[in-house]
Amino acid sequence: MAQVLGFPRTGRAQAAKKGLIKTKLSPFFTALDGGDIQCELCPRRCRVAKGKRGLCRVRENREGRYYSLVYGNPCAVHLDPIEKKPLFHVLPSSGSFSLATAGCNLQCKFCQNWEISQASPEDVFSYDVSPEGMVKLAQETKARSIAYTYVEPTIFYEYMSDIAELARRAGLLNICHSNGYINPGPLKQLCKWMDAANIDLKGFSESFYQEVCGGELAPVLETLKTLKREKVHLEITNLMIPTKNDDMAVLKEMCLWMKKELGADTPIHFSRFYPLYKLRTLPPTPVSTLEKARDVALSAGLEYVYVGNIPGNQAENTFCPKCKKIVIQRTGFMVGEVHLKGGKCSFCGRPISGIWA
Ligand code: SF4
């Protein structure tokens, strides 16, 4: 079964297919007795019997060796504004060539991309694009970066890492939007190529992670600290879900942790939840909740606090922490006036953290 799909702004099309296209041996597994393996890529450390797959659905034990089933097989390829990641402190208004394969290592009940994140590779239409081909496509669109996004990129790690190395050599930035659910070893290797990351800090309690996401909080916090140490530009997204993670006392604790461990200049995006997937009975996040969260974060000492999914809100702009003037004006994903000179506020000269050129 095939379906012809176009690559964005390249004038090229390819027959996207259902079914497994290619596989690649994973470097991240330990062989166990009896042909079982243990995956070492993410904190789940799935133990997988011969012929079976890990929880992310895209890694399979074949005769005691573990294979990625999505190498070179993206099911989503789009040219997005970098603001959509969201990364507000990296090359404003530039294009980011964005890709994903099927699969994910969490099972969030509010997932916005569940059709591909909770799917097996056989369930979706996929392209056949080598890492070299992906960098070439990105260059044809004049994108300034390649984004690994839409699902958890850890699950297509080998593909991401090979593209990222080539992209770096071609002068493109590498950016990701991730849930941060990855083991320290693979993460440190990836940091060699990664320029910027937006990590979902989905809540600040183990119970929220266990009940709503099917994971754990502690490994995500370790990932954040590692990214900071490895000097990868970091922004954080917190999707606020009514009654699930909107307790302002917990939120304050989270912001204070961020300030202490990651620095006051780490941008945070409080994003509006819309009823989706398994949480359809909850209402959208009230705007007042997001604005309250912003006040809490600013009072905790964070310098760049945004509100997302509410186009036209004042808190989409970047304000200089010193003179309080707008240095980057935004409406939705559109960038208006930019008042930065050499990475500094052009009104008062205060450095604004980010990658600006
Ligand atoms: S990457 Fe997939 S197979 Fe490996 S431990 Fe995580 S969920 Fe399991």
Which of ligand 1's atoms lies nearest the C-alpha of 59?
Answer: 3
User: Could you tell me if 255 and 297 are in contact, meaning their C-beta atoms sit under 8 angstroms apart?
Assistant: yes
What does 136-193 look like in DSSP terms, one character per residue? Answer: HHHHHTT-SEEEE-SS-GGGGHHHHHHHHHHHHHTT-EEEEEE-----HHHHHHHHTT
Residue nearest to atom 6 of ligand 1 (CA): 42
pLDDT at 93: 97
Bridge partners for 106 per DSSP: none
pLDDT in tens, 271-300: 999 998 999 999 999 999 999 999 999 999
pLDDT in tens, 323-332: 999 999 999 9
Q: Is 163 in the pocket of ligand 1 (CB under 6 A)?
A: no
pLDDT at 60: 98
CA distance 245 to 242: 7
pLDDT at 176: 98
CA distance 235 to 198: 5
pLDDT in tens, 163-176: 999 999 999 999 99
Q: Could you give the 3-state DSSP secondary structure of residue 317?
A: coil
CA distance 230 to 38: 27
Confidence of residue 229 (pLDDT cuts 50, 70, 90): very high
- Cα torsion 228, 230, 232, 238 to 10°: value is -30
CA of 139 to the centre of ligand 1 (A): 32
Residues 6+ apart with CB under 8 A from 345: 320, 322, 323, 325, 327, 339, 351, 352
CA of 155 to the centre of ligand 1 (A): 7
CA distance 310 to 274: 11
Selection from 93, 80, 142, 91 nearest residue 334 by Cα: 93
Using DSSP bridges, classify how beta strands 59-62 and 65-68 pair: parallel, antiparallel or unpaired. Answer: antiparallel
Selection from 63, 56, 69, 67 nearest residue 36 by Cα: 63
Q: Is 219 in the pocket of ligand 1 (CB under 6 A)?
A: no
| Residue 279 token pair | 């949480």
Burial class of residue 213, CB neighbours in 10 A (0-12, 13-18, 19+): buried
Q: Is 169 in the pocket of ligand 1 (CB under 6 A)?
A: no
| Residue 111 token pair | 């997932």
Q: Could you give the 3-state DSSP secondary structure of residue 80?
A: strand
Which of ligand 1's atoms lies nearest the C-alpha of 28?
Answer: 4
Confidence of residue 51 (pLDDT cuts 50, 70, 90): very high
Average confidence (pLDDT) over 127-142: 96
Q: Could you give the 3-state DSSP secondary structure of residue 37?
A: strand
Residue nearest to atom 3 of ligand 1 (CA): 54
CA distance 235 to 260: 15
Q: Is 41 in the pocket of ligand 1 (CB under 6 A)?
A: yes
349 pLDDT above the threshold of 80: yes
CA distance 224 to 244: 22
| Residue 94 token pair | 């530039």
62 pLDDT above the threshold of 90: yes
Look up residue 310 and give its DSSP letter. -
Q: Is the dihedral of CA 120, 126, 130, 135 positive or negative?
A: negative
User: Could you tell me if 60 and 203 are in contact, meaning their C-beta atoms sit under 8 angstroms apart?
Assistant: no
Residue 355: C-alpha distances to residues 80, 114, 282, 318 (Å): 18, 31, 37, 14
3 pLDDT above the threshold of 90: no
Q: Is 59 in the pocket of ligand 1 (CB under 6 A)?
A: yes
Q: Could you give the 3-state DSSP secondary structure of residue 83?
A: helix
